[in-house]
Amino acid sequence: MKKIEYGAGVFAIQGFLTAHECDAYISDSEAMGYDEAEIQTARGSQMYKDIRNNDRVIFDDAVMANNIFNRIEAMLPQELDGWELVGLNERLRFYRYEPGQYFKWHRDGSYARSEKEASLLSFLIFLNEDYEGGEIAFRWDKIKPERGSVVVFPHAMMHQGTTVESGVKYVLRTDVMYREIA
């Protein structure tokens, strides 16, 4: 695995998953069945296709989250602003973007397990690369990660998934969890 720093807390880890593992996740996600993705607003989940029109699968799997975490723990920030690394969120999401699909500029929300434990970073595994467009864009750069790579960034970072022009893009997303240091 190789870590690439992009600045402002954004980094990628190349070679995290094998092609076989990526294919298995894609197959598993298709078997689960995708639904249209909503966005979270102050009024709860809402469908706003002018902001987001991709599909997703949401599921909880603590074993899978722990297995992923155990493989990548050493490459994640061990401490952030008085919070210590504790694991990955067991709430996992597969995203599928077909041609014409996107997720416009937004910030990711934090998940709080308790007052002293919350997610601080977004964690995206890119499961394929046989598509055009679909980069993850930040205000200063666009990244099109290799298959099996992870991109990690602060939840508060503005970003977007640009429009997929051809092919189908698959991503596995979760959050990096931290506990407040007493």
- Using one digit for the tens of pLDDT, what is the confidence trace for 84-120? 999 999 999 999 999 999 989 999 999 999 999 999 9
Asked if the structure places residue 147 within a domain, the reply is yes
pTM, entire model: 0.93
Quote the tokens at residue 61.
Answer: 């799997």
Domain that holds residue 175: 6-36+49-180
Asked if the structure places residue 137 within a domain, the reply is yes
CATH code, domain with 95:
2.60.120.620
pLDDT digit string, tens, across residues 46-65: 665 666 677 999 999 999 99
pLDDT digit string, tens, across residues 32-49: 998 877 667 677 766 656
Average pLDDT, integer, range 139-143:
93
C-alpha to C-alpha distance for 19 and 34, rounded to whole angstroms: 22
SS3 of residue 123 by DSSP: strand
Residue of 25, 46, 28 whose CA lies nearest to 37: 46
Which pLDDT value is given to residue 35? Answer: 84
Which residues 6+ apart lie within 8 Å of 132 measured at CB? 164, 165, 166, 167
C-alpha to C-alpha distance for 164 and 93, rounded to whole angstroms: 19
Average pLDDT, integer, range 15-43:
89
* Number of independent structural domains in the chain: 1
């002293």: which residue's tokens?
116
Mean pLDDT, the chain, whole residue set: 94
Asked if the structure places residue 26 within a domain, the reply is yes
